[in-house]
Structure 1
Amino acid sequence: MAIIRSLSGTMPFSDRSLLAGIMKIRQEVFEAISRIAKERIMIIDGAMGTMLQREHLQEADFRADILKDHPKPLKGNNDILSLTRPDIVYKIHKLYLEAGADFIETNTFSGTAIAQADYQCEHLVHDINYRSAQIARKAADEIYEQTGVRRFVCGAIGPTNKTLSISPSVEHPEFRNITFQQLVKAYGEQARSLVEGGVDVLLVETVFDSANAKAALFAIRTLFEDDGIEEVPVFLSGTIVDLSGRTLSGQTGEAFLISTRQGRPVAVGLNCALGAKEMRPFIESIAMNTTALVLCYPNAGLPNALGGYDERPEDMAAALLSYASDGLVNIVGGCCGTTPDHIRAIAVAVKGVVPRKPPTSVYSGYMMLAGLEPFVIGAHTNFVNIGERCNVAGSRRFCNLIKKNKYEDAIGVARKQVENGAQILDINMDDGLLDGPSTMTKFLRLIASEPDIAKVPICVDSSNFEVLIAGLESCQGKCIVNSISLKEGEEVFLQKARLVKRYGAALVVMAFDEEGQATDTERKYKICERSYRLLIEEAAFDPCDIIFDPNILTIATGMEEHSEYGINFIEGTRLIKENLPGCFVSGGVSNFSFSFRGIEPVREAMHSVFLYHAIKAGMDMGIVNAGALPLYTDIRPDLLKLCEDLLWNKDSNATEKMLALAHDLVSGSKKPQTECDSWRQESVEKRLEYALVKGIDSHIVEDTEEARQDTSKYPRPLNVIEQPLMAGMAIVGDLFGSGKMFLPQVIKSARVMKKAVAHLIPFMDKEREENLKNKITVSNESPYQGTFVIATVKGDVHDIGKNIVAVVLGCNNFRVIDLGVMTPCEKIIKTAIDEKADFIGCSGLITPSLDEMVHVAREMQRAGLSIPLLIGGATTSKTHTAVKIAPRYSGPVIHCLDASKTVVACSSLCDPKTRDEFLADIAEEYEEVRIEHYESMKERRFMSLKAARSRALKLDFTHFQPVEPTFLGRKAFKKFDLNLVVPFIDWKPFFDVWQLRGKYPNRSYPRIFNDDNVGAEARRVFDDAQVTLRRLIDKEELKASAVISFFECCAYGDDILIFDHETRQHTATLFGLRQQCDKEYDQPCMCLSDFVAPGDHSNPTDYIGAFACTAGIGSRELCNALEKDRFDDYSSIMVKALADRLSEAMAEYLHMQVRRELWGYSLDEDLGTADLLSIKYKGIRPAPGYPSQPDHTEKMTLWRLLDVENLTGIKLTESFAMEPAASICGLYFAHPQSQYFAVGKIDKDQVEDYALRKKESVQSIEHWLAPILGYDVGK
């Protein structure tokens, strides 16, 4: 049984133990597949249709004697050949088995009554499937007898020619030409016949619609669990229709996996539609997201112009070998266009390669749901909003729309819910005047045609179980069923639960039993505990698919017994979460405030207060009106107090008081929210605080001046800074530190603070002059926590991260002295001494900056400093800081990931109570890091450079004809139109700059806008960015330029020789580094030169391109003006972030132009922006200083070859950073098998060889390549 469990992954052990008593399980097959799959990669056969076409069969072959009088033509009905020409089918099976196939598929791809109806052959379905299974069984058993190698027969179950998720009529999106139950019947008939005929496995394949697959899996589970059919392993294979990574019905691969887990497939994967090269990223995703075996059998490449397939066996085998070598697959083979020759080549290629080891669990402890996209709920997610407005019982407007048949407007309600943040949609059609099942079906079919709605999972909500089933049969994703309960007893409860499980849904269970609804805490818990045990022990439910609703009941009804309903729910939730592991808690939030229906401000406030406490107790999700929940902290105090009193039953008169307040709210005598300008009526201190917290600068100068003039409170201008302004910034710091405020808001607050201080500076200067003149001494005690000197180190021009740290430190009451970019070590140290600094912070983005930071540490030691040195920047790491920097300086050295970590470190160091313990923890941690580092170096194994070169990636250049570019030499773009690149902007790194990181599944753009925590702020910053972007481009505040060049070249060992296109003489060398870390299974050790045809100094054999581009011309001047003249760090960081995004987009755009036109090696490319950003095109553009060639000094060669500085204005610093910072350079490789890779660590023999080739000293090479050295130069 343990073997079966490890294969199924999604089926708990107890489930099979439970079913073993009532089911017959062909356990020997499960065990055999499990055993072999652990030992080696298994092989599935190739295309049956391709081989049948080679037989040139005629109509007579499809008829024979048994169908000679059939009324319809049968040619093309390949499945019928198992009856009319079994000899040919048998021969093809034998050919695949002899080629090395472990699994052969029966000739039954179209073996359902639905597919056979096209030929009027529905009556032959049993015979077709039964006979096909027997033919394959005979062939497999004969080969087994001959070779002693076990072979398996897969009963092929195709998708049919119908789809449950897509209407065949554009005019009627709700129409379907098939039902779920019709598919269940057809699939059940086919599966039964296949098992009776002797197949070892049922293979549900080429799934283009998960709803169809769910019907097939439902039918199969019914056969096994209800009909007594012997259980065999189930394989499941989807098909991704194009490079978007989605099925025909719109689901992502991960959503497809989640939606079909209930089938408990032993193997899951993809087949058809794509070739092996194109399928790889989608197989990678599946391999990461399943505990089952991974199955992959692609087509023989993409179809040619005539619909045929041209990929040669050796090419396909090489592609699948890469899958195998990278541990992605357990079973491989071929689909359309493949032949026994392909299968033979694949079998030979993967022989001896260790198979993928499936993970023991995926998302253990998480609830997995899906619409078109996956939605995973667990420890990483915040409270989940289930949109409530698509409920005819709860929304009068929605009900009226449905009853009036205004479905388009009703769809708009659903869309608005999603736009407002609903992560799941609750759909309820319970109304006495509606036909619940048909109305539910129609509405769900309609939203299935709206991808922006269908992306989220559905919660099918009804008190009528028939309606729930109708909903489940209309959704291709994994739904929630809301709800069932014990009110009809355990037997009915379990019958419904098992059926819901077979449909593959999660389940809401109400706290309701035979005695009625639970209202007190104890009964709520006891009913849920009893339900939990039944579901786990009797129905084999995954605890993570169980959601309890302990009944949110209405309070403030005037009845005393209702007063503690809120408390009872919260305490019941706490007990459930503490004692019933794995389950989730939900509830219908609007019930809580039903006494105040029609008074929305009161209801919304009550919901917010209720959720504030319920979530703390463990409530995971709730049915709410997404977008209509005020922040707990924004509720006006009198309303908040009454809500709290009602919830906790603190005041027996709270209901009457709330009714009085509600009357005021409705009559308009009071507003539920503070009027927009009411803060202007507060004291000047409160106004300053409000302006700082909200980032409002419209009144800051006048308010600061008002405070300054109040000399009784603030005798000196400095006192205004020390007291009200610092008090406001302290609140900002606290809010940021507690996660209640986000970085863009903090930076806006800093802008307000700077404007206030700027107003006071002239008065402070005047005071200082008068004091000197009158010889008056005043206290100069600093109001700050400490002084922080911060700089981007010498040779580096990147400063976005540094500027953010400076702003956040300022908001946390630190005096920050920002020395800018390209800062020499001497200036950093001198400034720290002169300003009596408490901290030094060094930042850098490029790898040479790491060595400069080591230099700063050494010089700080030599200068006798002892203040903390903080290290940050994209290229830095805790390991490098601990191993390379900290040992050079006796003072504290601390690596800080981001601004918030820097504040924590500085605050801890400033507090005498925490400083010693903090430093002791850092010292202990870094010592452990150093020990682990040096131990890992002992364990690290390198090949000799000679051995690594012998394992170079060997591409076949004998049959490769390189495409000649449209020109050789340079092409400059001195006035580049940035409007062209805006559509190519990748926005995710933009949000990373602002430290706005959504949680799964809202990490990427535009999903980040749906994130409960950062979504609203992300939208605000994005909107600001759009305005700024238009201004920067329209007013040409940012300018762009670029240069591209193509050269003749050849590979010469690890280097690439460049030739002058006029003289054809060798004119430059691009030096390469090769992977050298020891690898298993004969994986290649790659170098960039592997992607270029080999030659010598007199023989160019190939072409290469190079480029440099920038969209940052003018950014430094603009940002300096914003920072120094307008005190506007927010706008400055915005400009720099957008310049970076535009430069990256420009590189993407230019590369596209190179592929399609300028070089023209991919003329037929037609990729969307998402695919471009996902690098789904041919060719690569690696950059010097990055993983494929980590040597920044190689930029010098590019600058000389392309005349970069003259043609674009981009300069190189002494550390080979580019100025402007928003600049990119790199090479273009066109070979279709070129790929990105990381050189990784290298050993000393390669360093010495590299130095010899470059004619430089080993010490110089070690300096520039320090981050990738596999040995310690200092030891």
Structure 2
Amino acid sequence: MKTDIRELLLDRIFVLDGAMGSLIQQYNLTDADYRGERFKDFPHELKGNNDLLSITRPDVIKEIHAKYFEAGADIAETNTFSGTSIAMADYHLEDLVYELNFESAKIAREVADEFTEKDPSKPRFVAGSIGPTNRTLSLSPDVNDPGFRAVTFDELVIAYQEQVRGLVDGGADLLLVETVFDTLNAKAALFAIDQFFTQNPNHKYLPVMVSGTITDASGRTLSGQTTEAFLTSISHMPLLSVGLNCALGADLMRPYVKTLSDKSPFFVSAHPNAGLPNEMGEYDESPEQMAEVIEDFLQHGFVNIIGGCCGTTPAHIKAIATIASKYKPHQIPEAGHNQMLSGLEPLEITPLTNFVNIGERCNVTGSKKFARLIREEKFEEAIAVAREQCDSGAQILDVNLDEGMIDGVKMMPQYLNLLMSEPDIARLPIMIDSSKWEVIEAGLKCVQGKSIVNSISLKEGEEKFIESAHKVKMYGASVVVMAFDELGQADSYERRIEICQRAYDILTKVVGFPAQDIIFDPNILTVATGMDEHNNYANDFIKATKWIKANLPFAKVSGGVSNISFSFRGNELVREAMHTVFLYHAIKAGMDMGIVNASQLGVYDNIDKTLKDLCEDVLLNRNSEATEKLIVYAETVKSAGKEQVIDDAWRHQDVNKRLEHALIKGLTEFIDEDVEEARKLVNKPIEVIEGPLMDGMNVVGDLFGEGKMFLPQVVKSARVMKKAVAYLLPYIEAEKEVGESSSAGKILLATVKGDVHDIGKNIVGVVLACNNYEVIDLGVMISCDKILAAAKEHQVDIIGLSGLITPSLDEMVYVAKEMERLGFTVPLLIGGATTSRIHTAVKIDPHYSGPVIHVLDASRSVPVAGRLLQSELTQNQIFTEIKQEYEELRISHAARQKDKNYLSISQAREKSSGIDWTGFTSTQPSFLGVKYFQDYSLAEIAKYIDWTPFFSTWQLSGKYPKIFENETVGEEARKLFKDAQALLAEIIDQKLLTAKAALGFFPANSFGDDIILHDFTEKVNEVS
């Protein structure tokens, strides 16, 4: 018979017991009950200390456990919610902690064993309850001193270890860290648990459950984390389960439990309250009502463990146990290998993620200003430096306080506590950067999210390296590993990959460190120093990056970008160009992230060609004169400085080109006057937005996608766009006032949860408002429940969802599912850079019976909304057309994606062609080896263009040349073809493109299932 709870949870849903406090209240216990004989003369108030009843009224606690087991519970929580010295200090009973926990666990153990003995087929378990204490590590209790904390990480670890010892010795089967309102408190509890079992190997490591608390409709913990950020922050331990309890009833808890079921690599638990308390503080939700809501959890496969919290009774647990027996448990999704980080919000780094920018200015070694602010303890100004990094597009914030006159161990917690009190900064993951382990550890004790340690290395040998790595893992952080060992810093390609391979093997095989949480820094070292041995530093870094990505699975690559240009300090023009060119090549090689100064990044395509070529010569070490040539060039611009060498020729271009230039460069200086000039050239102000401004943003999007612009620059472009739209809004509003007064319809817009991008959505809102629609714009990062609640509140006619990043697509699918579940019928519009007709048809439309329509861009939103909100007949017509069109798209997609029936390897060998090569003489090609074509004729290539995909790209369906005869699209296709031919002729005539190719012929033969290529000069030398 199975007795391992992990195995049992695979078979059925487990039921956790209900509220302890609610049942204790029903006994109407007096002060004498709490005191008992032992504490009758105790000088302090004891009534209300429920944990104490395990000593003074064990019969009551035993009876409560029995009632819950009788009702069908599989797991009973010990009566130890406040069982730490910190919580017991309120009653002056700190010295009683071990005994309280031991006796509580012992009582629950006895009752559990009695019920298991009665029915061995249903073993009962004891969960040692570990509450959050009445102190918080992430929040200050003093509004006037946001950096103050009433407790330290170390104090909590000591308190939790004492509690754990009592629970383990008393007979608990598992440990439950519950009602987590501050994730840093939970991390201290997990640290204490891990440390206890590590230091006491004679004790079996008990399974650990963690249950957080979403405090209100904001969907966050009290300390500000989202559900996914909370999950990310505690996933470093091999937990039994992660879940939610308290604060909310089951109905309000649903979306957050759903998030855990989708994302958690562990079993999922939920024990909600019996609804919300009424004005008298009582819980009114009946067992039947609660069970009905929870059944929805079970039908959708959200949970493995279900129970009750405040207000629940044995009757509630009985009703829950009855329905739980009907359903199969939640299936844990397959574990992925994406790197997950978190501040108040999660940051997922996937293979599709663009370069991740790590803000570098909160570093005393790289910024004299910041160092001075920290030394002088001008913390408000130092916080402003961090905020500026966030506003400039940093996705991770690097903090380094290593300076001779700064006490890092003292100052790191002080500064981090202040940063963590600023929600707009605390949303980002923190990179704790120091060469001193004690400073890093002091920082780790202050950050509730999953941070990055920068850095550890093999400099002091393997023993020290392993010790540091184990600690980083215990604190739940990712780690930067420097390419540095006992012999010193790696400064060649060979040394870089040797050290990285060795470190990777130790971390993954000895420490058990997740590969996706390893970030290698293969040393970005200064080039153009005048020393020949430094010339290949950048090239070696790029080559090492490529090797790491190919040979060390899931590991990341980072580095301090500004190091590369240190030879040219003081010459910002050259440094910016070097950083931009270096990143362009390093990112192509696989560099995932880097510590950068957003103000020192340019646009690759916009760098002066001479300077760009010189930078590439130096960085890629393309010739021996590269350094000298760049130095000579740098001298010509050094005295002028960056500001004076900026070319203002763009100011003489036409206004549309000027607007495009301003958007790409992030320049706001002339935006008002240029927008005004553009406005005077059109009939309506909205045409400026739909025309040159949108055209400019499309160019920005293309450059970003090609890796030639970086996120901080896109953020600047967005600011320019917002300023331009803000200038036009008064004119747009004035135009509306003289038009129709009645609303054409009410449309809700939102950027979905997990996505902070809003430019496209904002433009859609402006365009719709210009056409007399009432727009309710909820903003960015909007959860599904908020979207649908607002839609009901405002009684909207249409819901529009926007998203720029790939994860937004999954959230849109979820919103569609929820709209169907909740009985919505209003049209759902889908838009944003990552969305498409095919994704909408295949992934979103099947989940919602109402109209689902993909809108290509802002200009299409008005006609689509207009058709949807015309007469019911028109709405039904477009609804039918779209559903039919999407069904055809799905059928076409399915046909392309249909699984192929592959034969087994043995069957394939049996069916091999069996060619008889006897007497065969191969035809000799005109040459052997590789032949290069440096400038192949474009006119010749043009003869072989397949034009059918070209027309498909422009959404004109039909095969070339028959498409010209199509009644619907034929005329447009002919126009498009004519334009394309003219452009192609221009490309060929002016040689705007150069065609290059490489072709090779090699002798070859088969060997088993392989094809062997040979060096053409001597057949015995195998190439591959």
- Give TM-score, length-normalised by structure 2: 0.71
Aligned residue among 248, 251, 259 for 1:277: 251
Amino acid at match of 1:112: T
Mapped partners of 1:524, 1:406: distance in 2: 40
Read off the aligned partner of 1:1215 and give its amino acid letter. Answer: T
1:610 is matched with 582
Deviates most, 123-132 or 346-355: 346-355
- CA gap 1:526/1:993 in 2 versus in 1, 3 angstroms: closer
Q: For residues 595 and 436 of structure 1, do their structure 2 counterparts lie closer, same or farther at Cα, with a shift above 3 Å needed?
A: same
Indicate how the Cα distance of structure 1 residues 201 and 193 shifts in structure 2: closer, same or farther if over 3 A, else same. same
Q: CA deviation at 1:467?
A: 0.2
Structure 1 residue 319 corresponds to structure 2 residue 19 = no
1:551 to 523, 534, 541: 523
SS in 2 for 1:1216: helix
Distance 2:90 2:60 in 1: 23
Q: How far apart in 1 are the matches of 2:7 and 2:642?
A: 74
Give the secondary structure class of the aligned counterpart of 1:1215: helix
Change (3 A) 1:276 1:1131: closer
Deviation at 1:1212, TM superposition (A): 2.0
1:1025–1:524 distance in 2 versus 1, CA, 3 Å = same
Deviations 1:513-555 (A, max 9, x none): 1111110110111011001000011100100010111111111
What is residue 62 of structure 2 aligned with on the other side? 90
Q: 1:248 to 1:1110 in 2, by over 3 A?
A: closer
Aligned-partner Cα distance in 1 for 2:8–2:617:
66
Distance in 2 separating the partners of 1:376 and 1:451: 19
Q: For residue 1046 of structure 1, what is the aligned residue in structure 2?
A: none
Task: Report deviation, 1:639.
Answer: 2.1
Distance change in 2, residues 1:510/1:49 (3 Å)? same
Cα 1:1143/1:350, change in 2 over 3 Å: farther
The aligned counterpart of 2:363 is 391
Indicate the residue corresponding to 1:494 in structure 2: 466
Pairing partner for 1:305 from 279, 283, 287: 279
Where does residue 1031 of structure 1 map in the other structure?
731
1:78 to 50, 61, 64: 50
Q: Secondary structure at the match of 2:511?
A: coil
Q: By how many angstroms is 1:1040 displaced? A: 7.0
Q: Distance in 2 between matches of 1:543 and 1:1154?
A: 45
AA aligned opposite 2:304: N
**Which residue pairs with 1:366 in the alignment?**
338
**Per the alignment, do residues 256 and 996 of structure 1 end up closer, same or farther by CA in structure 2, a change over 3 Å counting?**
farther
Question: How far apart, CA to CA, are the structure 2 residues paired with 1:524 and 1:213?
Answer: 38
Percent identical pairs in the alignment equals: 47
CA contact (8 A) 1:203 1:234 kept: yes
Q: Which segment drifts farther, 379-388 or 1030-1039?
A: 1030-1039
Determine which of 760, 767, 778 is the counterpart of 1:1136.
767
What is the letter of the counterpart of residue 341 of structure 2? L
Aligned letter for 1:319? V
Distance 2:382 2:258 in 1: 39
**Partner residue of 2:874?**
1215
Q: Deviations over 1:810-832 (max 9, x none)?
A: x9xxxxxxxxxxxxxxxxxxxxx
Compared CA separation, residues 624 and 1131, structure 1 to 2 (3 A): closer
Deviations 1:584-643 (A, max 9, x none): 111111111111222222212111111111111111111111243011111122322221
Structure 2 CA distance for aligned equivalents of residues 173 and 650 of structure 1 = 54
What does residue 231 of structure 1 align with?
205
Give the one of 462, 466, 470 matched to 2:442: 470
Alpha-carbon distance between aligned partners in 1 of 2:703 and 2:34, rounded to the nearest angstrom:
60
- SS of the equivalent of 2:116 reads helix
CA contact (8 A) 2:569 2:575 kept: yes
Checking the alignment, whether the CA contact within 8 Å between 1:636 and 1:673 is kept in structure 2 is no
Q: State yes or no: 1:380 paired with 2:352.
A: yes
1:1226 corresponds to: none
Which residue of structure 2 aligns with residue 216 of structure 1? Answer: 189
Separation in 2, partners of 1:469, 1:306: 46
Q: 1:1153 to 1:295 in 2, by over 3 A?
A: closer
Q: 1:1178 to 1:118 in 2, by over 3 A?
A: farther
CA contact (8 A) 2:157 2:191 kept: yes
Deviation at 1:669, TM superposition (A): 7.9
Question: Quick check: 2:433–2:453 contact (8 Å CA) kept in 1?
Answer: yes
Question: In the TM superposition, what whole-angstrom CA distance separates every residue of 1:810-856 from its partner, at most 9, and x where no partner exists?
Answer: x9xxxxxxxxxxxxxxxxxxxxxxxxxxxxxxxxxxxxxxxxxxxxx
Match of 1:542 in 2: 514
The yes-or-no answer on 1:459 pairing with 2:440 is no
**1:107, 1:360 → 2: CA distance?**
35
User: Structure 2: how far apart are the matches of 1:206 and 1:177?
Assistant: 19
Question: CA offset at residue 265 of structure 1?
Answer: 1.2
2:362 touches 2:398 (CA, 8 Å); kept in 1? yes
> Any conservation in 1 of the 2:651–2:658 contact (CA below 8 Å)?
no
Is 1:349–2:326 an aligned residue pair? no
C-alpha distance in 1 between matches for 2:553 and 2:146? 42
Counterparts of 1:600 and 1:1149 in 2: how far apart (Å)? 46
Distance 2:730 2:150 in 1: 49
Q: 1:1040 to 1:301 in 2, by over 3 A?
A: farther
1:139 paired with 2:111, answer: yes
For residue 261 of structure 1, what is the aligned residue in structure 2? 235
- Per-residue CA deviation, residues 1052-1082 of structure 1 (Å, 9 max, x unaligned), is xxxxxxxxxxxxxxxxxxxxxxxxxxxxxxx
- Kindly state the Cα deviation for residue 1179 of structure 1 after the two structures are TM-superposed: 12
- Give the AA of the match of 2:291: A
Query: 742, 745, 769: which is aligned to 1:1109?
Result: 745
Amino acid at match of 2:220: R
Q: Which amino acid aligns with 2:137?
A: L
Partners of 1:407 and 1:585 in 2: CA distance: 32
Deviations 1:739-791 (A, max 9, x none): x9xxxx9xx99x99x999x9xxxxxxxxxxxxxxxxxxxxxxxxxxxxxxxxx
1:545–1:992 Cα change, 3 Å: same
What SS is found at the alignment partner of 2:22?
Answer: helix
Q: Is the 8 A contact 1:40 1:352 kept in 2?
A: no
User: Do the aligned partners of residues 92 and 633 (structure 1) sit closer, same or farther apart at CA in structure 2, a change above 3 Å counting?
Assistant: same
Query: What is the 5 A alignment of 1:702-1101?
Result: 1011=711, 1015-1037=715-737
After TM superposition, give the deviation of residue 662 of structure 1 in Å: 3.1
CA distance in 2, matches of 1:165, 1:375: 20
> Counterparts of 1:564-575 in structure 2 under 5 Å?
564-575=536-547
1:383-422 → structure 2 map (5 Å cutoff): 383-422=355-394
RMSD across aligned positions (CA): 4.2
- Post-superposition shift, 1:1028? 4.0
* Rounded Cα–Cα distance in structure 1 between residues aligned with 2:621 and 2:319: 76
Q: Determine the structure 2 residue equivalent to 1:621.
A: 593
- What SS does the aligned partner of 1:202 have? strand
* Number of equivalenced pairs: 795
The structure-2 alpha-carbon separation of the partners of 1:1036 and 1:159, relative to structure 1 and needing over 3 Å to count, comes to: same
CA contact (8 A) 2:573 2:641 kept: no
Contact preservation (8 Å) 2:132, 2:181? yes
Alpha-carbon spacing, 1:696–1:504, altered in 2? closer, same or farther (3 Å): closer
Pick closer, same or farther for the CA change 1:1132–1:195 going to 2, 3 Å: closer
- The reply on whether 1:295 has 2:287 as its aligned counterpart is no
Pick closer, same or farther for the CA change 1:68–1:447 going to 2, 3 Å. Answer: same
Relative to the length of structure 1, the TM-score reads 0.58
CA displacement at 1:497 relative to structure 2? 0.5
3-state SS of paired residue (1:443):
helix
Q: Give the secondary structure class of the aligned counterpart of 2:4.
A: helix
Letter in 2 for 1:346: I
Change (3 A) 1:356 1:1178: closer
Unaligned runs of 5+ in 1: 1-27, 681-686, 699-731, 759-798, 812-990, 1000-1008, 1044-1107, 1113-1128, 1159-1169, 1193-1208, 1222-1240, 1242-1275
Q: Return the letter of the residue paired with 1:308.
A: E
Q: Distance in 2 between the 1:635 and 1:994 partners?
A: 15
Are 1:1111 and 1:1140, in contact at CA under 8 Å, matched by a contact in 2? no
Q: Do the aligned partners of 1:164 and 1:209 also contact (CA within 8 Å) in 2?
A: yes
- Bigger-Rg structure (1/2): 1
| AA aligned opposite 2:502 | R
